Amino acid sequence: MNSILEFTLRAGWCGMFAGVLSGAVIGLFFHREDWMGGYSSYRRRLTRLGHISFFGIGFLNLLYGLSLTHLDLSESVAKTGALCLLAALVTMPACCFLSAWRKPLKIFFPVPVLATTGGILAILFG
């Protein structure tokens, strides 16, 4: 169980780091009023959402890992939940950035939503 805990905590901190890096990159252009079609444009909103989702899903990974120390989950359930949240950490920002690039790619949003749901259900019902 310790390896799952460590894996989940490291994934969460990687999400935080990716959030900082993505924020630094897109922050280089925020001063331009017309960047990505302006502040309220679809492309710019999805790009911001991708950046913030690194932090949000990263926090979920951290909370999941910390919860493992207090809950009596079987190793298989704990591992499944950890993998689901890792998938969410990768796919949510990817879906946001890809949708900002090409709007039809928004059809992939159920993937990170289902992955996040799987991680949360592992805690609730595991």
**CB burial class (10 A; 0-12, 13-18, 19+) of residue 110?**
exposed
Whether residue 67 is predicted with pLDDT greater than 80 in this model: the reply is yes
Residue spans per domain, the chain: 2-125
3-state secondary structure of 38: coil
- Rounded to two decimals, the pTM is 0.93
Q: Count Cα atoms within 13 angstroms, Cβ side, for 49.
A: 18
Return d(Cα 12, Cα 88) in angstroms, integer.
11
| pLDDT per position as a tens digit, 70-119 | 998 999 999 999 999 999 999 999 999 999 999 999 999 999 999 999 99
Query: What H or E segment, with its residue span, contains residue 54?
Result: helix 42-68
